[in-house]
Amino acid sequence: MPVDLRDGNQALAEPMDTARKRRMFDLLVTMGFKEIEVGYPSASQTDFDFVRHLADSGTVPDDVTISVFTPAREDLIDRTIASVDGLPRTLVHLYTATAPTWRNVVLSRSRAEVHRLILDAAGYLLRKAEQRPGADIRFEFSPEVFNLTEPDFVLEVCNSVTELWEASPDRPVIHNLPATVEIATPNVYADQIEYMDRHLARRDSVILSVHPHNDRGTGVACAELAVLAGRSAWRAVCSATASAPGTSTW
Render pLDDT for 146-197 as a digit per residue (tens, 0 to 9). Answer: 999 999 999 999 999 999 999 999 999 999 999 999 999 999 999 999 999 9
* Domains delineated in the chain: 4-236 (3.20.20.70)
- pLDDT at position 8 is 80
- pLDDT at position 31 is 97
- pLDDT at position 241 is 45
Q: Do residues 141 and 94 touch, judged by C-beta distance below 8 A?
A: yes
- pLDDT at position 14 is 87
Render pLDDT for 48-104 as a digit per residue (tens, 0 to 9). Answer: 999 999 999 999 999 999 999 999 999 999 999 999 999 989 999 999 999 999 999
Render pLDDT for 189-224 as a digit per residue (tens, 0 to 9). Answer: 999 999 999 999 999 999 999 999 989 999 999 999
- Distance separating alpha carbons of residues 139 and 69, to the nearest angstrom: 10
Q: Residues near 154 by Cβ (< 8 Å), separated by ≥ 6? A: 98, 143, 146, 177, 196
Reported as a pLDDT band with limits 50, 70 and 90, residue 238 is low
DSSP letters spanning 29-84: HHHT-SEEEEE-TTT-HHHHHHHHHHHHHT-S-TT-EEEEEEES-HHHHHHHHHHT
Q: Residues near 58 by Cβ (< 8 Å), separated by ≥ 6? A: none
Residues recorded for the chain: 250
- Side by side, which strands form the sheet with 89-97? 35-39, 65-71, 89-97, 136-144, 173-179, 206-212, 234-236
Closest CA to 206 of 236, 239, 163, 237: 163
